[in-house]
Amino acid sequence: MPSILLSTLNARYFHSSLGLRYLLANMGELQADTALREFIITQRPVDIAEALLSARPRIIGFGVYIWNVAETAQVIAALKQVRPEIVIVLGGPEVSYEWEEQAIVALADYVIAGPADLTFAGLCRRLLENDPPPEKVIASAPPPLDQLVLPYRLYNDEDIAHRLIYVEASRGCPFKCEFCLSALDKTAWPFSLEPLLMELGSLHERGVRQFKFVDRTFNLNAKISARILDFFLERLDERLFLHFELIPDHLPAALKERIVRFPAGALQFEIGIQSFNATVQALIDRKQDNARTEDNLRWLRRHTQAHLHADLIVGLPGEDLASFAAGFNRLVALEPHEIQVGILKRLRGAPISRHTAAFDCRYNPYPPYNLLCSTLLDFATMRRLERFARYWDLIGNSGRFRHAIPQLLGDDPFGRFMALSDWLFAATDQTHQFALERLFDLVYQGLIEALNVDEPTARETLTADYRASHAKGHPAFLRVDAASATRAAARSNPLTPRRQSRHA
């Protein structure tokens, strides 16, 4: 039985913890006495505790993140009730800052605040030698990257077959965007390239074809980025898929000439726009050349086959509804394949908190710490925007409504989709768990009733979209007689907005 367990609760089964694998790779002589145990947040805490206790460990280290802190606290509480002598060590971004009042920290024995790659092994040595440190919170600085043992051999066959494989070519970020914990970094540090490429080659030989790079700024150093792209171009096949996060206003010729050589389905770029408002950008210390960003997005869309996933944030200090709407419309015009509309979160330790008083920002006190309201966006407006984001993901980002998009967005994408969003919520009082047939019927009726699209056009475009989806159902709008289709839909699922019906 191992004396030390490394554990975390992932959001989904297909996720894997790169951080825990770094810890395991750098345990030194303790590696043989250490084991990795990953779970998912949908498992019952008592079942997770049982699985951990069955190994009879002396020390358990938990990776704690915004998405698993509540569930992890329940697991630790159960462990401490049954085996209070087990030493619980916490690490991860959620417990590296503002730990004084956190319930999960009160349950634990030690907290490593900061990168724990080498510090965790050192703590375990002291604990096993009965020389425990007196302090509960252990500050840990970023280690020199050339001192780290790379963890990629610790991805096992099951990981390669069923899970995302995360890799990194660098750590840190030179930018100071205040909504992000990377604003606390002094710069970005690249890993030594040749050892990294050897590890990537080994993963490729073992069958890995999907590589998700977690670097904040993959294209910061064009020479390194070009070498990595060359590495994969030499191994190009129909199954290869690469995910990178790009700085939007930095795309030198050396990268362009390589990006155009990748076929469709091989590249995905996550591009953080966040806001096009120059005043907001300056307020949160985000340096971004908007004109160059737009030029780069246009070039990527017109000249490459890369899948473009662009991000916007609702609720940034200084950005009101009109400003966000203008930014959304500006981004839609650039035609990225997906637009992720996120709600501002006050991450523990992030400098965004310095604007809380000035804009009277009120955040959810529980994860995910999302903005509830501010002087610029009241609570009702924030709730509308949250629903807008959810419906946009279901409809705009799904890829199922390509023919209907022109009718859905028109010449005012934000205004029209917000009107559809308001109508959808009034009609259903829900934002989740839509069956595909019902979603198509709802969009059909929403086009007609909320967006004033004529019925033949709505029917024609949605028929093309539904058939392209290869779904085997038969939604009401597909029936030949439009009137009977509408009546059938109403009988199976009344769509008259509930708020109106209560006052009829």
The CATH number for 164-376, chosen from 3.10.640.10, 3.90.1640.30, 3.80.30.20, 3.30.360.10, is: 3.80.30.20
pLDDT at 498: 39
pLDDT at 496: 42
CA distances from 429 to 71, 338, 415 (A): 28, 25, 20
386 with 422: CB under 8 angstroms? Answer: no
pLDDT at 153: 98
Q: Tell me the C-alpha distance between 112 and 114, whole Å.
A: 6
CA distances from 122 to 26, 34, 116, 133 (A): 10, 13, 10, 11
Amino acid of residue 142: P
In the chain, count H helices and then E strands.
Answer: 19, 16
Nearest alpha carbon to residue 149 among 182, 117, 109, 181: 117
Q: Tell me the C-alpha distance between 488 and 483, whole Å.
A: 9
Q: Tell me the C-alpha distance between 204 and 208, whole Å.
A: 5
175 with 187: CB under 8 angstroms? Answer: no
Q: Where are the domains of the chain?
A: 4-145, 164-376, 378-504
Backbone angles phi, psi at 289, to 5 degrees: -85, 105
pLDDT tens-digit profile, the chain (504 residues):
899 999 999 999 999 999 999 999 999 999 999 999 999 999 999 999 999 999 999 999 999 999 999 999 999 999 999 999 999 999 999 999 999 989 999 999 999 999 999 999 999 999 999 999 999 999 999 999 999 999 999 999 999 999 999 999 999 998 899 999 998 988 889 999 999 999 999 999 999 999 999 999 999 999 999 999 999 999 999 999 999 999 999 999 999 999 999 999 999 999 999 999 999 999 999 999 999 999 999 999 999 999 999 999 999 999 999 999 999 999 999 999 999 999 999 999 999 999 999 999 999 999 999 999 999 999 999 999 999 999 999 999 999 999 999 999 999 999 999 999 999 999 999 999 999 999 999 999 999 999 999 999 999 999 999 999 999 888 999 985 445 545 545 554 544 443 333 333
Angle at 479 between CA 475 and CA 484, to 5 degrees: 105
Angle at 440 between CA 437 and CA 444, to 5 degrees: 140
Reported as half-sphere exposure (CB side, CA atoms, 13 A), residue 489 has a value of 25
| Cis peptide bond N-terminal to 133, omega within 30 | no
Nearest alpha carbon to residue 246 among 212, 218, 213, 265: 218
Nearest alpha carbon to residue 285 among 203, 358, 374, 183: 183
3-state secondary structure 375-404: CCCCHHHHHHHHHHHHHHHHHCCCCCCCCC
Buried b / exposed e over 55-64, threshold 16 CB at 10 Å, is eebbbbbbbb
Buried b / exposed e over 471-493, threshold 16 CB at 10 Å, is eeeebbbbbeebeebbebbeeee
* CATH fold of the domain at 4-145: Rossmann fold (3.40.50)
- Cβ-based neighbours of 295, under 8 Å, separated by 6 or more: none
DSSP secondary structure string, 405-467? Answer: HHHHHTT-HHHHHHHHHHHHHHHHS-SS---HHHHHHHHHHHHHHTT---HHHHHHHHHHHHH
Taking only Cα atoms into account, the Rg of the chain, rounded to an integer number of angstroms, comes to 25
Tokens 């992030």 — which residue? 350
What is the three-class DSSP state of 114?
coil
Residue 331: enclosing H or E segment and its boundaries?
helix 321-332
Backbone angles phi, psi at 89, to 5 degrees: -115, 130
pLDDT tens across 132-175, in order? 999 999 999 999 999 999 999 999 999 999 999 999 999 999 88
What is the three-class DSSP state of 276?
coil
CA distances from 99 to 91, 105, 108, 346 (A): 11, 6, 11, 15
Q: Would the CA dihedral through 204, 210, 216, 219 be positive or negative?
A: positive
pTM of this structure: 0.92
Backbone angles phi, psi at 195, to 5 degrees: -60, -40
What is the three-class DSSP state of 224?
helix
- Cβ-based neighbours of 334, under 8 Å, separated by 6 or more: 294, 297, 298, 301, 310
Amino acid of residue 233: L
Amino acid of residue 421: S
